[in-house]
Structure 1
């Protein structure tokens, strides 16, 4: 066996599988590993778990395993995979409709209230900087793009001051200029991907798409000297980089976050972001029982042993909120 393959196999053997049956598998992702393979061809959870199952089965055919959610590469913690097509479909829907309780332990550079909620808008796509953007007000996309524009259509022919026939007045709170019917037709055309912009007419840049992003937290402990807090964070939605981006946007980036953090000596003193998916609760896709899995951040060196002890007590005291699950 080649040295590179031996190293990959050694890493694979260290992966922790907490539970498996015919339909689901729950494993713990180490920090730095991809959830799914990409063009870098770096090791990823989906491929490595497939290889483990294949080696255990002794069969020539590789087993079925489907990814139903992801963790950011630097984040460690619990992941559930589907081992059947039925489970893949049902678990995928459960994640899309927020029927899974996802809880994380995190260390923030800053001290929030004992409990709290963030409800922001977050960009759907990652910018060239590698970060998502956060709007710290819950408003719909039109409110952001058009400053609460009020559109009123009327026939200018009926106005007392006359005016050109065929115009439609479009007014907002700041008295924006009216558009002609020709301009209205152009806008309608631009919305048709099969038509596109007319010849010699430049198309306008696409609007940025914003998604609701909500989470809540409980403060578990505080290091007053370092101005840091250990939090139990519960996701209400699951967006790219959500926890990292929202805490950074609210002035409390996570410890060790190379993308959203402070980038100072304290951040560089730990090898990865202090974020670990510590509890996962969902309805089993086939037998319909409630499944809860816990994981302490032993694999994440940015947490101390004391952090693990505090988290263990918190998970025992604070049971997951199942009120929004369709039981």
Structure 2
């Protein structure tokens, strides 16, 4: 049976961590990524999750020298929620294989403006990234440099002109969820990049990594990490129990 992990630890060191730990053993470290912190070092020079995790493990586990921490998947800087990191190169390689073979599952919750045309559906688009502006756009299939992007969505509820969606991400393109939903007229709450016309500066983007599931790189047990978004606006327009049931 798959271990379901939510807001707790598995074989984690008893010393308190700077992060909320969802899962930890000798091979893996699953955490709740804080919002507005880059996953890895970028041009801003701000503290990044990868560096902070290495320092955290070094301190908690009294490790001498450099600490290995492998980055397997990414979240945009403003996005928070469940992430898994590899503590060994072997675990990193095997988790990367899981991503490539689509046995690595990612589920998000998000709040969007308006309502999609159907209560559930699949969005298939070709996305093209402009590295100069760090923006992504939907383009015609066959456009040079374009990459196929696929996601499934389910409307969990509507309130006050917003919709709560569950997103099963089937490909991992840059800004994918934000761009695809904006393209159907449902920009994410708080997304200044792809929904500036309906959002106000300073609003926190309502996109949360709620489930990360994969076969353990060593034991092959199915691991499922679960994280729920904070109960602040606009998330609190819906009962947390509804969100919890949706990601189970």
Superposed CA deviations along residues 157-208 of structure 1, whole A, max 9, x for unmatched, are: xxxxxxxxxxxxxxxxxxxxxxxxxxxxxxxxxxxxxxxxxxxxxxxxxxx4
Q: How does 1:192-211 map to 2 (within 5 A)?
A: 208-211=144-147
Deviation at 1:271, TM superposition (A): 2.8
Q: Which residue of 2 aligns with 1:216?
A: 152
Distance 1:59 1:28 in 2: 22
Residue 97 of structure 1 deviates from its aligned partner by 3.0
CA positional deviation for 1:300: 7.2
On the 8 A contact 1:130/1:259 being kept in 2, the answer is no
RMSD of Structure 2 on Structure 1 (CA) = 2.0
Larger Rg: 1
| Structure ranking higher in strand proportion | 2
1:301 offset after TM fit, Å? 6.0
Deviation at 1:313, TM superposition (A): 2.3
Q: Quote the offset at 1:13 in angstroms.
A: 4.9
The residue number in structure 2 matching 1:294 is: 226
Name the CA distance, whole Å, in 2 between partners of 1:100 and 1:32. 24
- TM-fit CA distance, 1:263: 3.5
Q: Going by fraction, where is helix more abundant, 1 or 2?
A: 1
Report the CA distance shift for 1:301/1:14 in structure 2 as closer, same or farther (over 3 A).
Answer: farther
**Runs ≥4 residues deviating over 4 A:** 299-302
- Answer yes or no: is 1:128 the counterpart of 2:135: no
Aligned equivalent of 2:195: 261
Q: Confirm or deny: 8 A CA contact 2:26 2:87 kept in the other structure.
A: yes
| 1:236 and 2:170 aligned | yes
Aligned length: 232
**1:89 Cα deviation after fit:** 0.6
Q: Which runs of 5+ in 2 are unaligned?
A: 1-15
TM-score (norm 2): 0.87
Q: Equivalent residue for 1:88?
A: 92
* TM-score, with structure 1 as normaliser: 0.67
* Structure 1: runs of 5+ lacking an equivalent: 1-11, 145-207, 317-327
Match of 2:124 in 1: 119
Q: Which residue number corresponds to residue 304 of structure 1?
A: 236
- Provide closer, same or farther for how the CA distance between residues 82 and 37 of structure 1 changes in structure 2, counting only shifts above 3 A: same
Q: Secondary structure at the match of 1:79?
A: strand
